[in-house]
Every structure is written in structure tokens, then in C-alpha cells.
Amino acid sequence: MQMFLDGAGCDSLSGSTLPVYNPATGTVIDTVPAGTTDDVAAAVAAAENAQATWARVSPADKSRILIAAGALIRGEADALATLLTTEQGKPFREAKDEILGTAHIFEYYASMTGSIRGDAAVLPKYGYMNVVRKPLGVCGAIVPWNMPAIIFGWKAGAALACGNAVVAKPSETAPLTVLRLAELLAAAGVPGGVLNVVTGSGASAGDAIVRHADIRHVSFTGSVATGRAVSLAAAPTLKKLTLELGGNDAFIVAADADIDAAVAGAVRNRFYNCGQVCTSAKRILVDANCVDAFVRKARNAIEKLVVGSGLDKVNMGPLNNPGQRDAVAAAVDRIVNEECGRLIFGGKKQEGPGNFYAPTLLSDVSPDAVSEEIFGPVMPVIPFATLDEAVEIANGTPYGLGASIWTKNMKTAYTAAEQIRSGVVWVNRHLILPPEIPFGGTANSGYGRENGREFIYEYTEPKSILIGL
């Protein structure tokens, strides 16, 4: 596919391309332009040209365009989901959920265009103060490969609703669905230049977006290491950043929890998208009084998961890329070899083509062995003795994205919710993220919030106007 610049498809100025692979087969399915600094400069120029006019489009008209985008995405949901599965690897059913979720994101932002406003106050002796919210101008959106469609939707939907123009860069391993979404947004009425997608590597196109002086805000979702690099590269141009980095969510099962519901929740959330979600249930903390029953039931459920190409009827697909699969395998091997946990099920790469790794269950895992995020299909179960200990383990990593507590006791739920350091805590649920919930992390999981009402603070800036009386 071509990249999307100033309302039309185009190649990179250098003419070079990058291959896109099917993670289930390892074969090349397409190529995209390998964008560089020059392509980013052209996209920013187009965006700058178009932004002021877009900012003056009425909230009602912006809303109509975003609703139309949602409808076009819904109308093409099966084809988009097939494309997403083919480049990302997830089962078709999950891909379709993501696509319908992306349509809903644009509809959500359509509903918010009329609510983007500031404050007013009478200041005795001085006058009448208005604080209006102004668009930032051109916003950069750097998107990872794990949930490319919906994360693109979070960033582009919010930026467009606030009157900004966008230069987005999808991941080099899952750029195709984002490119098709950009075409659909244009077909829905987003004017040329308002939304641009430059494909290419992070080191080239991504870095150029972060460094460009006329991009005033970058929303980045990806790893902590890249988040740090983005933060340093953004400093000279003093641009605003929203950083959504990794997570290492604790999923805490209290002794009084409904064990069957907790097992089902843990298995569903840990193996969804092959474990490659920033808010996956990555560390399963279980009260020592029920840990044996939990592990037995979890093993029964995990044994039944069908693994294969996401285009077949499966519960879990491959990892997105070979590097990710090898990193997961190395993490499991280290835990087992250093006797920091017992292998109950899985623990191996699947022979043959594709980036497959068996759904894996580890018990008696020491908390320190999983202080780094494992971004793949591995469920480490960590026993605990008291709620205080569970909270301490939950907080014992550099991350702070999400967490959940499974219990029937309100006091246990509230105590854990209050004491766990994270951007979101669920009670008897995990990984529920409708657009109404402001999403983002603390500590090494990043800063800033997407969705909710909080997006307004990320994608606009206040301007104070004092009218003397």
C-alpha cells in the first residue's frame, strides 16, 4: 500500500519500501513506503496548510464527518478485520472487536466535539475572564503494532475533534489497517492534509515526527525504552507529549473471590491478543489458600485453547513478530532455569512457520522474576499470604498502568483499589476500556490520558482572555 499524504496515496520520496509479513506464515503480504525526514516534512507542510481551516469547521460538521467515518468502518468491518489479522496475527473475532471498537471511538469523539470548551469567571476589580481551549496545531501520533487500529483511533479521533491536524506513523509490522482507516476517514469528509499517515521505521519516520519543530504535540504508545528516546528527542522543540508505555498489571485473586469467574477472567485477559496488550493481566497474584485450585482450573482452561492462524477458528494466534516471540521464550526459559517458578503447561515455541508460542502457565513464581513486563502468552501465578503483601507485590515494579482485584468483599476491593499505584483499577473485571474511561499510566507507564473527558487537556491548550469591565 502507499502512505497517505495530503488526501491521497503516495510513495516515499526515496522510493524505498519495507515488507509487511503475515505473522502466522512468515510470508510477505505487502510493502509500504519507507518514509524518512523528507516525507515527514511534506506531511507536516500539508497538515499545517489544512489545520486552520479544519479548526474553524463547526462542532456539528466535525461531528457529522466523524459519525460518517464510524459508519464506513462498520460497513467494511469484515475486510478490515481480515487485513488486521493478516498483518497483526490476532484471531479474526478479536480483530473484528478491535475494528468495531475503532468505529465506536470515532463515534465517541463525534459526540464530544460540542463539549470542547473552557471556563469563564468574573474577577472583581479586573473584569470578565474567559479561558478558551485552542487546538495545538499539528499533532504527531506514533502507534504500536499490538492494537494498531484502536490506538490510532484514540489519537486521531481526539486530535481531530479538537481541531488539530494529524501526522500519524503506524508500526512497521502492522501499518496496513491504519492506512485503510485513513482512506475511510477521507471518504467520510476529513479534508485533504488534515490527516496524514507516514509509514516507515521508528528510527527514521518516527524520530523525524518527534523532532519536527512544527509538530506541537506527540502522542506515543510503545515501550518504555522508546518512550525515553522520544522524550529526549522532543526536548529541543519543547513539544507537549502524551506517553502511553508498557504495563505489568497485577490481577489479584482474594480468598473469597468467585474462583471460576477469576480463572475465566485471568485466562481470557492474559491470552487475549496473544498476551500482547499493555493492560493484559500480566501477573496473577492468588491467595495461598486457594492457589492450588486456581492453578488446577487455569491449567484445564489453558489446555483447551486452540492456537493457529487467526484466520481459522482459534482462541489464540501467533505473536506479531519473531523478535517478540524470542523475547517471550527467553523470559520463560530464564524463570524456569533459575528455578524462580514451576512450568505447569506450555513453555515452548511451536515448530514450523509463524511466530507461535504455546500458551504457558507458571506457578510459584517469585515476584522479582516478573518485575519486567512479559509481552506475550505467559501466565505467572504468584501466591500471597495477606492483602498487604499482595498490594506490595502489585506495586513492586516500575510500571503503573492497570490492575484488578477479584473479591466479594467491598472493603478488600476498596483497600486494594486505593492502595495500588496505577492509572486504572478494575474490581471483578480486567481490561475493560470503553472510551468513557480516561486511559493512561503513572511512573514508567507514562503520563497523560487518552479518552474520557481528559483528552481535551492533552489535545488543546488554554488561552486566557480578560475583558476589562
Residue numbers at the binding site for ligand NAD (CB under 6 A): 142-146, 169, 171-172, 201-203, 206-207, 210, 221-223, 226, 229-230, 244-247, 278, 373, 375, 401, 441, 445-446
Q: Compute the distance between CA of residue 443 and CA of residue 447 in angstroms, rounded to an integer.
A: 8
Longest Cα pair distance anywhere in the chain, in angstroms?
Answer: 78
Nearest to residue 298, comparing CAs of 211, 216, 380? Answer: 380
**Which residue's CB is nearer to ligand NAD, number 224 or number 263?**
224
Shortest Cβ 391–ligand NAD spacing (Å): 22
**In this complex, which beta carbon is closest to ligand NAD, that of residue 195 or of residue 387?**
195
Q: Which is nearer to ligand NAD, 141 or 302 (CB)?
A: 141
- Closest C-alpha among 188, 158, 196 to residue 73: 188
Smallest distance, ligand NAD to C-beta of residue 229, A: 4
CB of 249 to ligand NAD, least distance (A): 10
Radius of gyration of the chain from its Cα atoms, rounded to whole angstroms:
23
Query: Residue 435 Cβ, how far from ligand NAD at the closest point, in Å?
Result: 14
The DSSP 8-state label assigned to residue 35 in this structure reads: -
* Residue 295 DSSP SS3: helix
Contact predicate 393/382, CB 8 Å: yes
Q: How many CB atoms lie within 10 A of CB 28?
A: 10
CA–CA distances in Å: residue 390 to residues 171, 396, 429: 36, 10, 17
Task: Give the nearest distance from C-beta 169 to ligand NAD in angstroms.
Answer: 6
What is the rounded distance in angstroms from the CA atom of residue 175 to the CA atom of residue 144? Answer: 9
Distance CA 378, CA 347 (A): 8
Q: Whole-number minimum distance, CB 401 to ligand NAD, in Å?
A: 6
Closer of 266 and 431 to ligand NAD (Cβ): 431
Q: How far is the CB of 209 from ligand NAD (least distance, A)?
A: 7
Active-site positions? 244
User: Residue 31 or residue 201: which is nearer to ligand NAD going by CB?
Assistant: 201
Closest CA to 270 of 395, 402, 376: 376
Nearer to ligand NAD, 380 or 441 (CB): 441
| C-alpha to C-alpha distance for 76 and 94, rounded to whole angstroms | 15
Q: Is 36 left (phi over 0), alpha (psi -120 to 50) or beta?
A: beta
Instruction: Select the residue whose beta carbon is closest to ligand NAD and give its number.
Output: 202
Q: How far is CA 6 from the centre of its chain?
A: 26
Tell me the C-alpha to C-alpha distance, in Å, between residue 101 and each of 105, 111, 244, 310, 340. 6, 15, 19, 18, 38
Q: 427 or 443, CB closer to ligand NAD?
A: 443
